[in-house]
Amino acid sequence: MSWDAPTGTFADIEDQIAQLPILRSDTVYRGMVWDVRRDTVELAVGGEVTREYVEHTGAVLVLALRTVGGRDEVMVIRQYRHPVRSYLWELPAGLLDIGGEPPWRAAARELAEEVDLVAGRWDVLADSYASPGGMTEAIRIYLARDLSPAPERHDRVGEEADLQPRWVSLDDAYAAVLAGRVHNSGAMIGILAAWGSRAQGWRTLRPVDTPWPQHPAYRPA
């Protein structure tokens, strides 16, 4: 019974990468951006199962933070997301779709392209999987500080043409997440992680070049 399960500690709670045997693997759909793969995998317990999933490039998000009059403010953007038919409040973000580009440099590029900001200090804030039951998308969220305006404004098109940036206090963003007013998972994780890390004097931050084995491209062979 789960009631009688052992009690764990911080040392016990860490995800583990596992290379289980893949018996068959096929690309069953090729899309404009991402493909769908079907694998038959042999589980350690439970026998063979077949799963379909989206092969995703991965993404980076930026929680850009400034302090004005003693108040910490985070940059959020309002953007239309067609699959959910909604305008969502998000963090500046982008795909890892340029070969050889380090993730933090991709984050810096997206920060400049989406909200015309550059940062003098970068730290890793949080890592996550967007939907581990259905896609490979790994997300890394950076904390960007020592902000200044970008040298030139980026020309935004498509969905980004209607992008609306706004500074909001970290406390208000945190309250909005808890009140169910924010639904983008990356924004939620970033805001909650920043609020919690600040409460611990930012001691939880990791160096910008921290290894990222959760992303398939950066996983040891």
Query: How far apart are alpha carbons 129 and 15 in whole angstroms?
Result: 11
Residue 64 Rama label (left phi>0; alpha psi -120 to 50; beta)? beta
Handedness of CA 27, 28, 31, 33 (dihedral sign): negative
Q: Which amino acid is at 37?
A: R
Rounded (5°) CA angle 74-124-135:
95
3-class SS of residue 210:
coil
Q: Which of 55, 101, 113, 160 is catalytic?
A: 160
Q: Give yes or no: 101 in active site.
A: no
Tokens of 151: 């040298």
Task: Give how far Cα 174 sits from Cα of 36, 55, 94, 110, 169, Å.
Answer: 35, 31, 22, 23, 9
Query: How far apart are alpha carbons 194 and 191 in whole angstroms?
Result: 5
Q: Which amino acid is at 73?
A: E
Cβ count near 9 (within 10 Å): 6
Q: Which residues are catalytic?
A: 160
